[in-house]
Amino acid sequence: MPPSSLRVVYAFAREMHPKNSDVFIQYGTAGFRTKANLLEHVVYRMGLLAVIRSRVKNGRTIGMMITASHNLEPDNGVKLIDPDGEMLEESWEEIATRLANVSDNDLESTTVEIIKQVNADMSLKASVFIGMDTRYTSPRLAAAAANGVIALKGTPKEFGIVTTPMLHFCVKCRNDNKYGTPTEEGYYEKIVGAFKAICQKLPVSGDYNPTLYVDGANGVGGKKLNIIKKSLDGELDLHLFNLGGNGGKLNLNCGADFVKVSQSPPVGVEHVPFQRVASLDGDGDRIVYYYLDDENKMNLLDGDRIATLLASYIAELLKTCDATDLNMGIVQTAYANGASTQYIIEQLKLPVTCVKTGVKHLHHAALAYDIGIYFEANGHGTVVYSETAKKTIRKIAEEGEPEQRKAASLFVKFIDMTNETVGDALSDLFLAESVLRARALAAPRWRALYADRPARQLKCPVQDRNIIKTTDAERKCTSPEGLQTRIDELVARHTNGRAFVRASGTEDVVRVYAEADTTQAADKLAAEVAQAVHDLAGGVGDRPVLPE
């Protein structure tokens, strides 16, 4: 494509999607995310970049998802999805940031520079899938994305309102037709179909109750479950709340992030003692469970709990299949509760890899195992399987001894039920429900597998978050000088003490995490560490601590 044909890039920008703000915006793990009124020019430019990325990948389809996930409704965002359904390759984050922030006058020349830098063959066809969440600003931004694709002569396909993981799934299927059919219906056929097949092999028994309450966060996940509900044939009795009506606002006092951070139940849900509730987030890529006991006490079952539940069942299936030569491990971040890590190592006898915060880091580390399970404590996670693992299990399902075949056929459906591309609240819900059903478990017995150590998260406003440098998967602070020594001194005063700090990826705050043997001790340790950050890292104002 000669430079003269790129003039339309500037024309589209000037006439339809001009850059009206000087606010610098950076591509991170979650893509770009900020106030929706600052994003239109950014999303248009990411349409350009998606076309370039598609051509670098020999015309394979790239995804663009318009969402701000668990953020409140005034925010929005955009993230790019690579051909295998994974996050955008990390080396392209700087390119995305550069393209998003240049002036309109420099947009055409910068686009030419990027095309040369990445050696894109602009004569190739380019395909981009576009999805969006339920925010009122999403349709306008999705249109800007499509215009960016069209400006560089790519082909956009708009999926309308879908969960983020559905779009990841469709991109993967479009580039690998063995994985599934690249439509919303194809998603239901594979994932929900596998759940129903497993249910037929696992009759309800023991303490398991197929009634499940779901907090939909007034977002897209609840709406899609409302569609799925009609096809479940009674195998799972879904009671759906916070579906976006009756004045409910997206993620406001509801949803997975609210439940996890506030440790309190969402508004808008009817509660029955010991009834398990699943809380989704706004775009359907996170899930946490909880229940209230007969004293109305909150009992949270977060991403750590889901990871250990799935791991214990997969390990059991592997043993029954006599396929224990397949290596399995769990990937966590420093935010994982220390009790969960201890349970995995000592009880499940599985290796644990700890990585930096951010799904891209967890996903990459999980791929090192034949069966890699990764979850952030916030409820974002999934299971990935190597081709060796899939072939081995399928072969056992066809040729093994009777008990092996039975376990392997369950495992095949378990794999089909998994959205391997990204954390998926709906897929994870069906996986968790399958294990609870197989184990005849009620929520209290699930929670009793181990006792969480009390933990507290705080944030400390600072002048410049970039002063904080870390190592050892963010568990040790290397800058500013003296801060880690101070943290070590404070931790040593507390039984089962553990604490770390890390810079926020989105705002000038330092995030503080602390654990100890009692709630009071965890609160005290978190406050002490936050004070140390305030004193040594340029804290803003007199009050160093804000609730996380």
Q: What percent of the chain has pLDDT over 90?
A: 91
Q: pTM for the full model?
A: 0.94
What class has domain 186-300? alpha beta
Q: How confident is the model at residue 4 (pLDDT cuts 50, 70, 90)?
A: very low
Phi/psi-derived region of residue 53, left when phi > 0, alpha when psi is between -120 and 50, beta in every other case: alpha
Comparing C-alpha atoms, which of 132, 115, 136, 139 is closest to residue 51? 115
CA distance 475 to 473: 6
φ and ψ at 503, to 5 degrees? -75, 140
Amino acid in position 322: D
Q: How confident is the model at residue 6 (pLDDT cuts 50, 70, 90)?
A: confident
Does domain 303-425 bear CATH number 3.40.120.10? yes
Q: Quick check: 229 pLDDT over 70?
A: yes
Active site residue 69: yes
Phi/psi-derived region of residue 545, left when phi > 0, alpha when psi is between -120 and 50, beta in every other case: beta
Q: Which of 4, 5, 21, 69 is catalytic?
A: 69
Look at the block and give the residue holding tokens 């081995």: 392
Q: Quick check: 261 pLDDT over 90?
A: no
Q: Where are the domains of the chain?
A: 3-161, 186-300, 303-425, 455-547
- Map residue 67 onto helix, strand or coil: coil
CA atoms within 13 A on the CB side of 144: 28
What class has domain 455-547? alpha beta
Q: Quick check: 1 pLDDT over 90?
A: no
Q: Quick check: 372 pLDDT over 90?
A: yes
Q: How confident is the model at residue 246 (pLDDT cuts 50, 70, 90)?
A: confident
Q: Quick check: 14 pLDDT over 80?
A: yes
Q: What percent of the chain has pLDDT over 70?
A: 98
Tens-digit pLDDT profile for residues 407-457: 999 999 999 999 999 999 999 999 999 999 999 999 999 999 999 999 998
Q: How confident is the model at residue 5 (pLDDT cuts 50, 70, 90)?
A: low
Task: Give the fold, CATH level 3, of 3-161.
Answer: Alpha-D-Glucose-1,6-Bisphosphate; Chain A, domain 3 (3.40.120)
303-425: same fold as 186-300? yes
